[in-house]
């Protein structure tokens, strides 16, 4: 395993970043032993405490298994990690968007969103119903994409909370963490969805009126606009390659 001395970031953060890159790239295979702490300390130019802290973070992320008195071994992150890893998988080790990961994110979004809307129509409080309608109407009054993107996150966050499904909420947190750092770049790709004020107001109305099946179907139509735009963008990208 080729490693370089850590010169920037905190020492433990630098160790963690280097090791995570190598684990996710496949350079270290599942079941393979990582170098001993002493070897990592020397190769990275840090103290042993920094290495131990980094290895502990890797174990918490589901990337390695640590057993007292045994070598630290890489795990198959597909079987041991959780959604916290999603934002790291978005780009390949070469820094290019990973089309399969993006497809997976869009599929999860398209699955969770409609059912969250259906459950929100059944479970939302009066205040949540009012907020969902208000945000949808606010979005009718602007065509500025960054503003629409910001409102849209709030719109869906309110729906997710109103669905009273903690699993959906945690998944939403991971999706938002992945999306927000790139929102300005991605907003143009989602322009058709963000600008679909009629569908959004209709969806809000269905939730407000406790029409769960209609809310599910309208949410599916709304999210399909973004999915179609993203698929088209990546098809074009792959063609150019």
186: domain CATH number is: 1.20.120.530
* Mean pLDDT rounded to a whole number for the chain: 91
- Are 58 and 91 contained in the same domain? no
Across 86-101, b (16+ Cβ under 10 Å) vs e yields bbbbbeeeeeeeeeeb
Q: Would residue 227 count as lying in a domain?
A: yes
pLDDT at 236: 65
Contacts with 149 (C-beta within 8 Å, 6 or more apart), sequence order: 183, 186, 187, 190, 194
Q: How confident is the model at residue 5 (pLDDT cuts 50, 70, 90)?
A: low
pLDDT at 7: 55
The domain total for the chain is 2
For the stretch 7-23, pLDDT in tens is: 556 889 999 999 998 99
- Are 226 and 107 contained in the same domain? yes
pLDDT at 237: 57
105 compared with 92, residue with greater pLDDT: 105
- Are 96 and 17 contained in the same domain? no
The mean per-residue pLDDT over the stretch 157-180 comes to 94
Q: Would residue 4 count as lying in a domain?
A: no
- Are 51 and 97 contained in the same domain? no
Q: Would residue 109 count as lying in a domain?
A: yes
The mean per-residue pLDDT over the stretch 101-119 comes to 94
- Are 145 and 220 contained in the same domain? yes
- Are 94 and 194 contained in the same domain? yes
Domain residue limits at 103: 87-240
The mean per-residue pLDDT over the stretch 176-187 comes to 84
Structure tokens at 98: 């990973």
For the stretch 201-229, pLDDT in tens is: 999 999 999 999 999 999 999 999 999 99
Residue 77, pLDDT above cutoff 70: yes
- Are 116 and 152 contained in the same domain? yes
Contacts with 192 (C-beta within 8 Å, 6 or more apart), sequence order: 225, 226, 228, 229
Q: Would residue 228 count as lying in a domain?
A: yes
Structure tokens at 215: 């809310």
- Are 137 and 183 contained in the same domain? yes
Instruction: List Cβ<8 Å contacts ≥24 apart for 65-71.
Output: 71/33, 71/34, 71/36
CATH of the domain at 37: 1.10.10.10
Q: Would residue 2 count as lying in a domain?
A: no
User: Count of alpha carbons within 13 Å of 11, Cβ hemisphere only?
Assistant: 14
- Are 69 and 105 contained in the same domain? no
- Are 28 and 93 contained in the same domain? no
- Are 196 and 227 contained in the same domain? yes
Q: Would residue 179 count as lying in a domain?
A: yes
- Are 45 and 139 contained in the same domain? no
pLDDT at 9: 61
């Amino acid at each position: 395993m080729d490693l370089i001395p850590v010169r920037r970031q905190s020492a433990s953060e630098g160790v963690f970043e280097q090791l995570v890159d190598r684990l996710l790239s496949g350079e270290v295979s599942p079941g393979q032993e990582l170098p001993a702490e002493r070897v990592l300390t020397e190769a990275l130019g840090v103290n042993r405490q920094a290495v131990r802290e980094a290895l502990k973070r890797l174990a918490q992320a589901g990337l390695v298994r640590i057993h007292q008195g045994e070598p630290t071994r890489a795990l198959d992150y597909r079987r041991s990690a959780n959604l916290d890893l999603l934002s790291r998988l978005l780009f390949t080790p070469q820094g290019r968007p990973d089309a399969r990961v993006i497809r997976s994110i869009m599929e999860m979004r398209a699955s969770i969103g409609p059912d969250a809307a259906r459950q929100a129509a059944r479970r939302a409080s009066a205040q949540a119903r009012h907020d969902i309608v208000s945000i949808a109407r606010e979005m009718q009054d602007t065509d500025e994409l960054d503003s629409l993107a910001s409102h849209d996150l709030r719109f869906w966050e309110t729906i997710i909370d109103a669905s009273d499904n903690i699993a959906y909420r945690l998944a939403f947190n991971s999706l938002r963490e992945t999306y927000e750092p790139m929102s300005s770049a991605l907003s143009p790709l989602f322009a058709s969805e963000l600008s679909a004020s009629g569908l959004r107001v209709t969806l809000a109305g269905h939730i407000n009126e406790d029409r769960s099946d209609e809310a599910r179907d309208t949410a599916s139509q709304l999210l399909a606009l973004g999915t179609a735009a993203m698929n088209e963008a990546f098809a074009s990208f792959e063609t150019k390659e």
